[in-house]
């Protein structure tokens, strides 16, 4: 269906490099210049957030690019206030492009008298005027049901699959995909299916939160190049311990592919000193200088996928087509 309005992109301060990369990719796809809407997102002296949009957005199809990563509360408030500013400026539609959806780990009540913060965040986003959400690798897929608006959840596994097929092209027969816990088996199985590799599981048991009492490997990893796949790496304690256990069980190499590199606290130091040969993350969260300098951390770009997804939403065509290697491979040609 032909569209009269142009897609217009605006960004908060959470990940400006990714926002600029998305506009560059969209410029390539469309054969015309695509720039971020001129705006300022600033803080008063008391840290209140203020937004001013300098361009006319009346009747426009608006896309706000903003991960709700650390500092999660500041970035979330920026997203909400930008949306409110656009709604009050008569934008035709507001889509939140949230590469990393914060608070997603609080998706259920784990014990009495605890919140479901992911649902609260969903309510706040809808109340602020957001009419559609585009995100990647939600920690829990059921969060899509917390919204009464369309939610497009992209997957990093097709990008990871393309990279693995390139990096391990001479030894694919030795590759084994590993889930670091039972809860991540579906994600690991999806990647294993894409690269035609076997699957193993590391079963961990905790005595109390933050402490891992015991790890057991389910599957024979002897002589294999193990690839741990997960959606979030925070302090990297579990990841580094899982790598050690796999090496103890006979793995020749351990690599990790993690969608969202939160990498807080001692994470980078742990990864640098670990037995892991490499950690591959996406740029859904802006990497710190320490992450960029780490010798065994590599960053894959998500801008090509998000740029195409935004164009598909604008055109009213399928976003799920980006889940297929055949569709994604041309977009990433020359990048991976």
Residue numbers belonging to the annotated binding site? 46-48, 105-106, 139, 181, 206, 230, 234-238
Which residues does the annotation place in the binding site for ATP? 46-48, 105-106
Got the DSSP string for 66-91?
A: ----SSHHHHHHHHHHHHHHHHHTT-
Q: Are strands 253-261 and 151-154 parallel, antiparallel or unpaired?
A: unpaired
Is omega for the bond preceding 71 within 30 degrees of 0, making it cis?
A: yes
Residues annotated within a binding site for Mg(2+): 139, 181
Enumerate the H helices of the chain as residue ranges. 16-30, 72-88, 117-127, 157-167, 185-195, 237-248, 267-273, 289-293, 303-315, 325-331
β-bridge mates for residue 46, sequence order: none
CB atoms within 10 A of CB 256: 27
Helix (H) or strand (E) holding 181, with range, is none
In the numeric block, which tokens belong to residue 263? 């990498």
Residues with a known catalytic role? 204
CA atoms within 13 A on the CB side of 304: 17
Question: Can you tell me whether residue 317 is helix, strand or coil?
Answer: coil
Pure H helices in 129-184: 157-167
Residues annotated as binding site for D-ribose 5-phosphate?
Answer: 206, 230, 234-238
The 8 Å CB, 24+ separation contacts for 40-46 are: 41/12, 41/13, 41/78, 41/81, 41/82
Say how far apart CA 244 and CA 312 lie, in whole Å: 42
């Amino acid at each position: 269906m032909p569209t009269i309005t142009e897609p217009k992109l605006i960004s908060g301060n959470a990940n400006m490099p990714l926002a600029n990369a998305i506009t560059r990719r969209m410029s390539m796809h469309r054969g015309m210049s695509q720039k971020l809407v001129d705006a300022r997102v600033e803080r008063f002296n008391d840290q209140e957030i203020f937004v001013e949009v300098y361009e006319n957005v009346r009747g426009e199809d608006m896309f706000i690019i903003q991960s709700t990563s650390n500092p999660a509360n500041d970035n979330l408030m920026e997203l909400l206030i930008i949306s409110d500013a656009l709604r009050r400026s008569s934008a035709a539609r507001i889509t939140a492009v949230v590469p990393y959806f914060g608070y997603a780990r609080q998706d259920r009540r784990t014990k009495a008298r605890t919140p479901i913060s992911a649902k609260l965040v969903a309510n706040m986003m809808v109340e602020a005027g957001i009419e559609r959400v585009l995100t990647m690798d939600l920690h829990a897929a059921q969060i899509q049901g917390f919204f009464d608006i369309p939610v497009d959840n992209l997957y990093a596994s097709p990008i990871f699959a393309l990279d693995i097929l390139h990096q391990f092209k001479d030894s694919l027969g030795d590759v084994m995909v590993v889930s670091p816990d039972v809860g991540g088996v579906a994600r690991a199985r999806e990647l294993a299916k894409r690269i035609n590799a076997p699957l193993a599981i590391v079963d961990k048991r905790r005595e109390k939160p933050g402490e891992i009492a015991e790890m057991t490997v389910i599957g024979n990893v002897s002589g294999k190049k193990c690839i741990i796949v997960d959606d979030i790496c925070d302090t990297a304690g579990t990841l580094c311990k899982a790598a050690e256990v796999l090496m103890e069980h006979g793995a020749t190499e351990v690599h990790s592919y993690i969608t969202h590199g939160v990498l807080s606290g001692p994470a980078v130091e742990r990864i640098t000193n670990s037995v892991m040969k490499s950690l591959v993350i996406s740029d859904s969260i802006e990497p710190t200088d320490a992450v960029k300098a780490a010798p065994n951390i590599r960053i894959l770009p998500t801008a090509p996928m998000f740029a195409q997804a935004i164009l598909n939403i604008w055109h009213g065509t399928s976003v799920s087509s980006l889940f297929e290697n055949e569709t994604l491979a041309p977009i990433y040609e020359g990048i991976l």
